[in-house]
Amino acid sequence: MTAPAGALFNAGWYRFARRLDSPNFGPRPAGACIDLLVVHSISLPPGRYGGDEVQRLFTNTLNWDAHPYFQGIRGLEVSSHFYIRRDGTLWQFVSCDARAWHAGASQWRGRGNCNDDSIGIELEGLEGDAFEDAQYDTLASLSAALQQQYPVRHIAGHEHIAPGRKRDPGPGFDWPRLARSLGLADTALPS
Ligand SMILES: [Zn+2]
């Protein structure tokens, strides 16, 4: 099936993202209502920006012996739908129509297993660090596009859907700024 010319998405792939297929995904449950965006932060090793380690992690090609930190995550098979670099460059690893592996044990808006019916967006960053203007710009345009394509009604951080276990994107992320850029009330997002 071919998407119409100018379509934002083709089989769940966003036209303005660089595509790099991850093997880490599966089908969503039948009838899944994709109504949640989950914002994350990641950098490998933590706090070091600009390399290709995150892309390698999500495609199972990371050299686990390249850094001591990687020993602790050796063999990890994870993915997110999207990854936004510090310069705002956008990558996509899994079709939004498929289930990526970013949330783990999680619960939000009264439902568990958030991987089933959410879209995961990783920002290159570190919990506690601020994020770049270019990242907010890309996140806003991506979120607006996703809102057009999917019945998105909720946006939350990994820290909110897995409290006590996860802390990303952390206090350096400006939720009111994201809300303003999407025309949402601050109360539509976690604070
Ligand atoms: Zn996360």
Per-residue model confidence as pLDDT tens digits over 67-76: 999 999 999 9
Is the pLDDT reported for residue 175 higher than 80?
Answer: yes
Q: How confident is the model at residue 23 (pLDDT cuts 50, 70, 90)?
A: very high
Measured in Å, residue 4 CA sits from the centre of ligand 1 at 33
Residue type, 73: I
Is the pLDDT reported for residue 3 higher than 90?
Answer: no
Q: Which residues pair with 120 in a beta bridge?
A: 38
Is the pLDDT reported for residue 134 higher than 60?
Answer: yes
How many angstroms separate the Cα of 172 from the Cα of each of 35, 47, 68, 139, 162? 25, 13, 26, 15, 18
Measured in Å, residue 78 CA sits from the centre of ligand 1 at 10
Mean pLDDT of the chain: 95
* Ramachandran class of 60: left when φ > 0, alpha when ψ lies in -120 to 50, beta otherwise: left
Is the pLDDT reported for residue 5 higher than 80?
Answer: no
Share of the chain above pLDDT 90, in %: 89
Q: Are 177 and 137 in contact (CB under 8 A)?
A: no
pLDDT score at 2: 62
pLDDT digits (tens, 9 = 90+) for 49-62: 999 999 999 999 99
Hey, which residues are catalytic here?
122
Q: State the pairing for strand pair 90-92/18-19.
A: parallel
**Residue 88 main-chain phi, psi, to 5 deg:** 90, -5
Would you state the structure tokens that stand for residue 31, as one six-digit string? Answer: 């009838």
Average pLDDT of 159-176? 96
Is the pLDDT reported for residue 187 higher than 80?
Answer: no
Measured in Å, residue 115 CA sits from the centre of ligand 1 at 12
Average pLDDT of 141-165? 96
Q: Are 60 and 24 in contact (CB under 8 A)?
A: yes
H/E stretch holding 114: none
Would you state the structure tokens that stand for residue 170, as one six-digit string? Answer: 């952390």
Measured in Å, residue 184 CA sits from the centre of ligand 1 at 23
3-state SS record for 121-167: EEEECCCCCCCCHHHHHHHHHHHHHHHHHCCCCEEEEHHHHCCCCCC
